[in-house]
Amino acid sequence: MLTIDRYLRASSLEEAYEAAQKKNSAVLGGMLWLRLSHRHVSTAIDLSALGLCGVEDLGDRYRIGAYTTLRMLETHEGLHRDFGGVIGDALRDIVGVQFRNLATVGGSVFGRFGFSDVVTVFLALGASVELYPSGTVSLETFCGMRGVKDILTHVILPKRQVRTAYRAMRNTATDFPSLNVCAVLAEDALTVTVGARPLCAVAYRLPAAGAGTAEEIAEKIAKETVFASNSRASETYRRHLCRVLVARAVDDVYGKGGES
């Protein structure tokens, strides 16, 4: 059970950061994941007064505040238009609407959960994260960082001409995914991400043309990727799923049956 001694509605990032350095403090996102923990939190830090909820269109990129909910992303017209609906495709099976009205972008990315649909799709779209006070790093770098005590303030998504596809396998409709895959084809590169391995998602960058057939690409990625077993799927099954889902996603972005 999660217990909390003190609740702090931070009035500045400095105040939030300072409080977050204290032992047993916790920054609150939507609190859905935190709630499952058996932690004793000395200070729960609420960022809701810091203007971090919303999606800004900055012309060449989107800047998404950490308190933006997954539902806001899923229903955002510009994101839907510019990324071919792939964000909605990735998020719509996460539990339910009421859940996605609470789950935040900041908590979902900061958690770098091994099962995450959010990280898989953001990584494929070339996201970076703004950390206070460290500054901006690519999401790929952030996924490998440990012991971070910064405040995640925004996620940046660069706008490019892309074709996108998302595929996930779940044992039941709203369960955690057993594997998820996102493919993003830009002018210069094909990016394929594989998540729910059940380790944090990994990205592969291939040339936009001449990388082989969808099956060849899928075979290569399935061979190179590290998978593990848990109660949802075995390592062997995940590798098999990877072949199938990557081939389908790559087919989707090139138009079915097409060779890259």
Ligand X SMILES: Cc1cc2nc3c(=O)[nH]c(=O)nc-3n(C[C@H](O)[C@H](O)[C@H](O)COP(=O)(O)OP(=O)(O)OC[C@H]3O[C@@H](n4cnc5c(N)ncnc54)[C@H](O)[C@@H]3O)c2cc1C
230-243 in b/e form (b: 16+ CB < 10 A) is: eebbeeeebbebbb
Residue 106 contact partner, candidates ligand X, other proteins, none, CB within 5 to 8 A by sort of partner: ligand X
Restricting to residues 30-89, which ones interact with other proteins according to CB under 8 A? Answer: 30-32, 35-36, 41, 44, 46, 48
Terminal CA-CA length for the chain = 51
Are 106 and 16 a contacting pair, CB within 8 Å? no
CA distances from 154 to 5, 32, 219, 258 (A): 28, 19, 35, 37
Beta bridge partners of 8: 45
Strands laid side by side in the 128-132 sheet: 55-57, 61-65, 151-158, 128-132, 135-138
Query: How far, in Å, CA of 132 to CA of 143, rounded?
Result: 16
Kindly tell me which of 87 and 190 has the beta carbon lying closer to other proteins.
Answer: 87
Instruction: Give the residue at shortest CB distance from ligand X.
Output: 107
Using CB under 8 A as the binding criterion, the count of chain residues that bind other proteins stands at 27
Based on the shown chain and the rule CB under 8 A, indicate whether residue 11 belongs to the binding site for other proteins: no
Restricting to residues 184-243, which ones interact with other proteins according to CB under 8 A? Answer: none
Based on the shown chain and the rule CB under 8 A, indicate whether residue 15 belongs to the binding site for other proteins: no
Based on the shown chain and the rule CB under 8 A, indicate whether residue 99 belongs to the binding site for other proteins: yes
Kindly tell me which of 5 and 259 has the beta carbon lying closer to ligand X.
Answer: 5
Question: Closest separation between CB of residue 173 and other proteins, Å?
Answer: 6
Please give the residue ranges that form the binding site for ligand X (CB under 6 A): 26-34, 36, 47, 66, 94-95, 103-104, 106-108, 110-111, 113, 115-118, 151-152, 176-177
Neighbours of 49 (CB within 10 A): 13
Question: Closest separation between CB of residue 56 and ligand X, Å?
Answer: 16
* Position among 78, 96, 144, 158 found at the interface with other proteins (CB under 8 A): 96
